[in-house]
Amino acid sequence: MAASGARAFYTQPGQFEIVVMDASDAQPALALGAAVWRALSGPLALPRDGFTSPVSMRLVPAAQWTETAPFTTTVEPGGLVSVRVRWGGDSNPLFVRRAFVQGLILRQAVAWHAVGPRLTVPLWLEQACTGWSLVSERPAMMDQFQQESEGMGNPPSLRSLLLWERGTVESRGWELASLWLFLELQAEPGDSTRWGRWIRGVVGGAEPMDTLPRVYSGLWPDAAMQESWWQTAFQHQSRIRSLPVMTAGASRAWMADRSRWLAGRDGREIVLPLGELHALRNEPWVRAELAARIGQIRSVLGLIHPYYTNAAISMGRVYEAALKASDADFMVALEAFERDALDGRELEDAVGAILDTAPRK
């Protein structure tokens, strides 16, 4: 790495290692890695303290990319998962996100089953986790996905979806069906461990159509009822007219993530104080990231917990001031954000204390 001029940055210990040739590429990749990990930590039962070795994401400049596929994933000796992804130029952001998702699923498969020839990342699961990471980052995407599902007709059969192979045409309808199946199986009442046991089995190479009725025992008496359940589940999940609303804790975590800025300096990764954004606003990666975060804040304002609504609005004003306002106006916006963030946390703690001591009836 040192000989080639590459540098490594980390989201958190044991999560994603981002290897870049240009340190300015690290920030958007780190933000994407953190968002993907946060979205999939529950559905994939990711370890709270990270893996013993992170998923290594090697961002290859588009001019140097020689593969036909947009990314490649390998399991190296010792269980190290390495992903090479085409970066920059006209790279499709969705494929970049899928590269992070695929690497993470495969790393969890290694943690569950060790290195072996049967490890796999089912295409439907990769598509579902990619879609869910988008919804978790920008909740309004759920409404967009539901609108896309309208008018697409009947979904593919459950068997076809679960056995969906790479190399075939990747239909948008099948991508959305994957997300609805992902959500429905987790929402099924009863034994809460079924989803985790089934996913653990299929990434280890278990035959999905045999494993599904065995793990979800008693849900379907025969194959016909199973298919009927799936057709109904697709219509149900794609028509629910509600968006995910963040809890106070999730809102606080989202605010912390979107107010954290990482940069490379002198070969090291540092956390930038927010007060430096105004001075750095002419750097291309800072301007691009400011614009992206302003859009993300707008997308969650109707969904973030009321404790943190004012803080989210204030954070947006900080980023807008960093792009367009004077240094004095930027500092005023920054002070307002800090006050609102503290007020939100105090309100959350105060209400929590009241609820903890309230008499139970």
- Report whether 8 contacts 1 (CB < 8 A): yes
Cα dihedral 196, 197, 199, 204 sign:
positive
Q: Is the pLDDT of residue 1 over 70?
A: no
- For 340-343, the CB contacts below 8 A with 24+ separation are 340/310, 340/311, 340/313, 340/314, 341/255, 341/259, 341/308, 341/311, 341/314, 341/315, 343/310, 343/311
196: left (phi over 0), alpha (psi -120 to 50) or beta: alpha
pLDDT interval class at 359 (50, 70, 90): low
In sequence order, what DSSP letters do the residues of 4-40 get, joined into one string? Answer: TT-EEEESSTTSEEEEESSGGGHHHHHHHHHHHHHHH
| pTM of the full structure | 0.73
Q: Is the pLDDT of residue 2 over 50?
A: no
Residue 16: the pLDDT is 97
Over residues 197-212, the mean pLDDT reads 95
pLDDT, tens only, 345-355: 999 888 878 86
Over residues 283-306, the mean pLDDT reads 87
Helix (H, G, I), strand (E, B) or coil at 266: coil
Residue 358: the pLDDT is 54
Q: Is the pLDDT of residue 190 over 50?
A: yes
pLDDT, tens only, 210-258: 999 999 988 898 999 999 999 999 998 888 765 556 778 888 888 998 9
Helix (H, G, I), strand (E, B) or coil at 317: helix
Q: Is the pLDDT of residue 151 over 70?
A: yes
- Report whether 129 contacts 44 (CB < 8 A): yes
pLDDT, tens only, 104-119: 999 999 999 999 999 9
pLDDT, tens only, 45-99: 999 899 999 999 999 999 999 999 999 999 988 889 999 999 987 889 999 999 9
Residue 242: the pLDDT is 58
